[in-house]
Amino acid sequence: MGYTVKYPAARISEAMDKTVSRLQEQGVLSRDTVFIVLMNGGSWFASHVFDRLAEPDNTVYFVKIHSYDGTASGTIHWDYLPEMDINARDVVVLDDICDTGKTDIALYQFLLRLQPHSVSFFTLLKRTTTSLPEEIKLYTCLVDDSSDFFVGCGLDDNGKGRLLPYVGVVNP
């Protein structure tokens, strides 16, 4: 099984720059901003965003939550959820893809109980079929209208392909 490049490395680099610009435009980059990284896929995206921040001196929490088992979306699973101090703070959630929106909705509802000042989601990729409630602020760099299964830039095929510098499509 191989991969076909859908979004080359140069386009991914532009997307990373665009993400940091959007973070700056939103005015949420301060020392008091809390970043929440969704593992495992969001780790790649977050590391590339953090590399571009002028002063990356923020609190970072890692959360492991997923709704996928192989290539099928299903029930939300909370694998790792640390105690988080986000009361009255701006929260930025970083993830690789907003696919069905299930994970983002579940995390958003959980975070609201911790009374943050604001919550924003930033992803590398979003499907056009994703439906989120209006109150969830989602900023994304690449929007895709296909049903392709992606790898690279944090996205994986059962653990493979995650570190590719491009977003590729799994070939049947």
Computed on alpha carbons and rounded to an integer, the radius of gyration of the chain in Å comes to 15
Catalytic annotation on 32?
Answer: no
Residue in 95, 96, 99, 104 annotated catalytic: 99
Which strands sit side by side in the sheet containing 150-151, from one edge to the other?
Answer: 3-7, 167-170, 150-151
- Whole-angstrom distance, CA of residue 48 vs CA of residue 98: 18
Half-sphere exposure of 38 toward its Cβ, with a 13 Å CA cutoff?
26
Q: Which residues are catalytic?
A: 99
